[in-house]
Amino acid sequence: MLNLQTGAALAGATVSVAGLSPTADAAGACRLPNIPPGTYQATASVAGFISQTVTVAITSGATTQASFALVQSFPDITITLVWGAQPQDLDLHLSGPAPGGGRFHAFFLDPTPVPYAALTLQDDNQLGPEQMVIRRDPATGQFVAGDYHLWVHNFSGTPEFNVSQARVIINNNAQLLGVFDVNNANGDPALELWYVVNLEVDAVGNVTLVPVQQFTNGSGQGSFTILAPPYGSKPVRP
C-alpha cells in the first residue's frame, strides 16, 4: 500500500477481506493466507486517508496480489500537485468567480486572492506537493458557486512536461474526486501550461469535474494568465 501523493509505503494500514484485517508492515505489504477461492471486495484503510476498495478474484493454488494507492484526506475541496525530479519548478494555478464579477487568480504571487480559495502549499524544488483549497466563504458559510479552472505552469521551462511525472489529485473531504496524470494530456508538452480540469462547484460544495487535459500556451505571460475554455488564455496583469 502506497501514499498516492508521495509514493511512500503506508505502514500500519489494514486490508479487510473475507473477515480478515491484517496490518501492513513497514514496506506497506501484508499477507492473507488460506482464503477460499472466490471473488471478494478488499478494502485498504488507514487513519487520515481515504479508504480504497478493489475487487479481488482468488483462485485455488495461486497467489493473488492487490495493489492500493491511498489518497490523504483533507478538509474542504483540496487539489494536490506532485511531480518528479524534473522540471524543478511546476506551479499550481486556480481561477474562479470573484466577488462583484470577474475572476480571481490564486497562484504563488497571490496565494489568497479571496477568502474562499487559496494556495496553501508551495514547492519550487522538485517533487511537490503544491496544494490549493476551495472552502466555504466565511461571510456566508456557503461555497461560492461557479466554474473553477485549474492548470499547471512549467515555471522552469525545461525539461518539458512529458518527463515531469506530474499528477493532480482532487478530493472533497473524504471523497476522492479524480486523479489526472500529465501523460494523459493532449497536445505539445513543450508548451508552458497544462490545463488540467474545470470544477463546477455549487453552494453546498458538490463538485462536478470537467476534464480538459490539454497543453496550451500562456500568451507569453504564463504566470499572469487566467485560462478559459476551450484552451485560450486571457491576460489579467501587465
Q: What is the CATH number of the domain that holds 22?
A: 2.60.40.1120
Give Cα 49 to chain centroid, integer Å.
Answer: 14
What's the pLDDT at 222?
53
Task: Using a cut of 0.75, tell me whether the model's pTM lies above it.
Answer: yes
Cβ count within 10 A of residue 138:
8
What's the pLDDT at 188?
94
Name the stretches of the chain with pLDDT < 70. 5, 73, 219-224, 228-238
Nearest to 81 by CA among 131, 126, 119: 131
- Alpha carbon separation from 2 to 5, 8, 42 (Å, rounded): 9, 5, 15
What's the pLDDT at 8?
79
- What does the block give as the cell for 203? 453552494
Among residues 17, 40, 72, the one where a domain terminates is: 72
User: Are residues 207 and 124 part of one domain?
Assistant: yes
What's the pLDDT at 232?
42
What's the pLDDT at 113?
94
Q: Interior CA angle at 76 toward 72 and 192, to 5°?
A: 75
What's the pLDDT at 162?
95
Give Cα 7 to chain centroid, integer Å.
Answer: 14
User: Are residues 120 and 51 part of one domain?
Assistant: no
User: Are residues 15 and 106 part of one domain?
Assistant: no
User: Are residues 116 and 29 part of one domain?
Assistant: no
> What total number of domains does the chain contain?
2
SS3 233: strand
User: Are residues 138 and 31 part of one domain?
Assistant: no
User: Are residues 193 and 150 part of one domain?
Assistant: yes
Nearest to 106 by CA among 238, 223, 233: 223
Q: DSSP assignment, residue 68?
A: -
Among residues 72, 95, 121, the one where a domain terminates is: 72
- Residue 107: give its domain's CATH number: 2.60.60.30
User: Are residues 198 and 106 part of one domain?
Assistant: yes
Strands (E), 124-229: 130-134, 146-154, 167-172, 175-181, 193-201, 207-216, 225-228
User: Are residues 119 and 20 part of one domain?
Assistant: no
User: Is residue 182 within 8 Å of residue 162, measured between CB atoms?
Assistant: yes
- What does the block give as the cell for 107? 497562484
Among residues 25, 54, 72, the one where a domain terminates is: 72
User: Are residues 135 and 231 part of one domain?
Assistant: yes
SS3 194: strand
Residue 69, φ and ψ in degrees, nearest 5? -130, 105
User: Are residues 119 and 16 part of one domain?
Assistant: no
What's the pLDDT at 27?
80
Q: List the domain range (segments joined by +) for residue 163.
A: 77-235
User: Are residues 81 and 66 part of one domain?
Assistant: no
User: Are residues 41 and 156 part of one domain?
Assistant: no
User: Is residue 68 within 8 Å of residue 52, measured between CB atoms?
Assistant: yes
